[in-house]
Structure 1
Amino acid sequence: MKIIVVSDTHMPNRGKELPPVLIKELKKADMIIHAGDWNNLEVYEMLKEYGRVEGVYGNTDEQEIRDAFPGKKVLQAEGYTIGIVHGDGNGKTTEKRAFGAFEEKPDVIIFGHSHIPYVRFDHRVLLFNPGSATDKRKQPYYSFGILELGDDLRAQHILYKNKE
């Protein structure tokens, strides 16, 4: 199973359209996960053209996103448990807040908020932040993630300089 993972799209402020490199991968996705800061439902409408979309709201999301998505979610896919949370809050690092959001630890925790691509195991849990496909901030590249679930668990970032 191929899951495209995005977060912090901040659209339309940080882009009017999804980047072509992201669209290319969305066309091959079995599922799409958004870890918050969509900013409005138009992003959901764009993503759902490519398949099933799961997600959570982030700290900058409008009420319509908060009404449509929870702040935290756990789902099952291909025998894996995936937790999704934005990761905002006070104190600790974004990674520690995301890890601490789940009492029962899933196999994977997908989070956003920092706009920094991140992949690391912590206590046998894969922590995965896709970065941002449209708002790289101080990062050298825009990014999103690909999570592949099967006999093996694979996570990778797709990095690119131009979002046009």
Structure 2
Amino acid sequence: MLLAVISDTHMPRGARRLPVEHLVGVDAILHAGDLMERSVLEELQGIGPPVHAVQGNVDDAWLRARLPLQRTLEFAGVRIGMVHDAGPTKGRLARLRRRFPDEDAVIFGHSHIPLHEVDADGFQIFNPGSATDRRRQPVHTMGFARIEDRKLTFDLLELV
């Protein structure tokens, strides 16, 4: 199973565009918040795979009324939590483990800084960065979550 992981698209704004070529053909698209406007969610839904999203801090009222602040999804026996803002860097891994005690991993966004951490028990946190708004990062990024035999791995993709 292959899941596309994106966050912080902040669209529409300028010439930004979704990395559609990397979203077609995946089993689902996970968006960790800050879509910004309804049209972005609709564009993602038009690509084809199911879209699962959480609300971000800059999402419009329409999105905030329809998207949860956090959620848990299960794919092929793997439980993945999602939240936009995972809080301060210090203690983040342990804090998310406490907040999502039954999940195998948590996907988050907000910082636009790609991150992948794993604790001693194998619990993972993953931030895909941003495919459209890199801020202080050298490149735009997104991620993939792969599930095989109930084993979850994350990969970061640098977009050119």
Q: Taking structure 1 as the reference length, what is the TM-score of the superposition?
A: 0.87
Gaps of 5+ in 2: none
Q: Deviations over 1:100-156 (max 9, x none)?
A: 672424101000000011111024211010000000000001000010112232211
Task: Tell me the distance in 2 between the aligned counterparts of 1:117 and 1:129.
Answer: 5
Give the conservation status (yes or no) of the 8 Å contact 2:142–2:159: no
Residue 15 of structure 1: CA displacement?
A: 4.3
* Alpha-carbon spacing, 1:14–1:124, altered in 2? closer, same or farther (3 Å): farther
Query: What is residue 34 of structure 1 aligned with on the other side?
Result: 31
For the residue of structure 2 that corresponds to 1:136, the secondary structure is: coil
For the residue of structure 2 that corresponds to 1:119, the secondary structure is: strand
C-alpha RMSD over aligned residues: 2.0
Query: What is residue 96 of structure 1 aligned with on the other side?
Result: 92
Gaps of 5+ in 1: none
Counting aligned pairs with the same residue, the percent is 37
Report the AA paired with residue 153 of structure 1. Answer: L
Query: What is residue 3 of structure 1 aligned with on the other side?
Result: 3
Give the conservation status (yes or no) of the 8 Å contact 1:94–1:114: no
Name which of 130, 148, 151 aligns with 1:150: 148
Query: What is residue 17 of structure 1 aligned with on the other side?
Result: 17
Q: Taking structure 2 as the reference length, what is the TM-score of the superposition?
A: 0.89
For the residue of structure 2 that corresponds to 1:9, the secondary structure is: coil
Task: Tell me the distance in 2 between the aligned counterparts of 1:44 and 1:94.
Answer: 32
Query: What is residue 108 of structure 2 aligned with on the other side?
Result: 111
Task: Tell me the distance in 2 between the aligned counterparts of 1:143 and 1:41.
Answer: 22
Task: Tell me the distance in 2 between the aligned counterparts of 1:84 and 1:34.
Answer: 9
Count of aligned pairs:
156
